[in-house]
Amino acid sequence: MTSVLLFAGSVRRGAFSRRLAAAAGLAVARYGGKPTMIDLADYEAPLYNADIEDSDGIPQGVLDFRRLVATHDALCLATPEYNGGMTPILLNMFCWASRPSPTDDFGAVFQGKPVALMASSPGRLGGVRVIPRLRDAVCELGMVPVPGFASVGNAAQAFSENGDLSDEQLAQGLNGLVQRLVNRAG
């Protein structure tokens, strides 16, 4: 069974990206995968600083996150768009988690890992401007994005009571993305 780690690039309570990641988790299960949804707030990491790394090492929260990444077949990321870019918490986690350690090289935990990219926004564009930047970042870390992406605009009205996307076209797009991810990783 293909295991997929899902998380949002936002730790805000009620974040639309969390809802999108949860909807993707439902799709992972529908396609025979095993979803694991996490909250980056549970994996504490100070703002990356080489002095902190030199004096204290890699924070335990980051080591725990890396273990989760390593033990899953694929990743599914949902993020809001902050001024056209990814969120500081997501960038910070990438910075910390990609650091070399005595047992692995820079970014080793991400190497070859299939990843699905998703964005959400309360606006009509759905965070689409962050996708190219997110794609560049994950490729730089050695991940392999599956073709396409999911972008959910007007996110405040986009989800049904059961957590799925209420718009059929958006739901089909998300399901197709997740199916490609599960197939690629499986």
Span 9-60, pLDDT tens digits:
999 988 999 999 999 999 999 999 999 999 999 999 999 999 999 999 999 9
Q: What is the CATH number of the domain that holds 76?
A: 3.40.50.360
The three-state DSSP-derived secondary structure of the chain is CCEEEEEECCCCCCCHHHHHHHHHHHHHHHCCCEEEEECHHHCCCCCCCHHHHHHHCCCHHHHHHHHHHHCCCEEEEEEECECCECCHHHHHHHHHHCCCECCECCCHHHCCCEEEEEEECCCCCCCCCHHHHHHHHHHHCCCEECCCCEEECCHHHCECCCCCECCHHHHHHHHHHHHHHHHHHC
Span 131-148, pLDDT tens digits:
999 999 999 999 999 999
pTM of the model: 0.95
Mean pLDDT of the chain: 94
Span 160-185, pLDDT tens digits:
888 888 889 999 999 999 999 999 99
What is the count of structural domains for the chain?
1
Average pLDDT over residues 103-126: 90
Range of the domain at 132: 3-185
The pLDDT score that the predictor gives to residue 158 is 87
Does residue 127 surpass a pLDDT of 80?
yes
The pLDDT score that the predictor gives to residue 154 is 87
Does residue 66 surpass a pLDDT of 90?
yes
Average pLDDT over residues 70-79: 98
The pLDDT score that the predictor gives to residue 14 is 87
Does residue 159 surpass a pLDDT of 80?
yes
